[in-house]
Structure 1
């Protein structure tokens, strides 16, 4: 029996590593194995910023990958938490009755939804702000080079 609350928390906490996909679909899930790739690339972008400074253009591309992965997994946690018990049980617990306990919503599910919404929105806005700021600073610097 796949529990909706556990899946929502796994999507929020371990989503960038694919833990929620492994919980729901097993170790053979391709997307679960692909999710750590943008996570690792984003972490590599953070390492490049620490090593080369904020002017490293490759990190401008890599860091938002981590942010978008975290945001996407937070969105999945929200979708899991908001699904109806009937839909959850028909999709992930087909052998159980439609109103089985693993598909019901409780306060821990609501907490997962609320935390995922707050953190996901904050990470999305930070990722967009970081990448847009560096892109526009780069454009201004290139325009200065051309004008001189």
Structure 2
């Protein structure tokens, strides 16, 4: 039995590592194995920011990968949490009746949805702001360099 609440929390907490995909689809899920790649690249971008500062061009390309991956996993947690019981059980618990308990929404599911919405929106906005700020500053610097 695959619980909607567990899947939503796994997508929120361990989503960038693909834990929710492994829980729902097993260890043979290719997307679950690919999710740690942008996560690792984003963490490498954070390391470059700490080492070279915010003016490092590669870091402002890599850091948003971590943010967008995490925001996407938060969106997945929201989708899982808001999925109807019948649809959840039909997709992930086909051997159970449509109204079986694992597809039900509980307070834990609601808290996962709220946390995913708050954290995901914050991370997404921070990633977009960081990326665009660095991009436009880079464009201004290049424009000044060309004009001189």
Q: Distance in 2 between matches of 1:32 and 1:7?
A: 13
Paired residue total:
148
C-alpha RMSD of the superposition? 0.4
Q: Distance in 2 between matches of 1:145 and 1:65?
A: 28
Deviation at 1:147, TM superposition (A): 1.5
Deviation at 1:146, TM superposition (A): 1.5
Q: Distance in 1 between matches of 2:82 and 2:114?
A: 11
Q: TM-score, with normalisation over the residues of structure 1?
A: 0.99
Q: Secondary structure in 2 aligned to 1:130?
A: helix
1:13 aligns with 2:16: no
Could you list the runs of 4 or more consecutive aligned residues of structure 1 that deviate by over 4 angstroms after TM superposition?
Answer: none
Deviation at 1:38, TM superposition (A): 0.1
Structure 2: unaligned runs, 5 residues or longer: none
Match of 1:138 in 2: 138
Q: Secondary structure in 1 aligned to 2:94?
A: coil
Match of 1:112 in 2: 112
Match of 1:39 in 2: 39
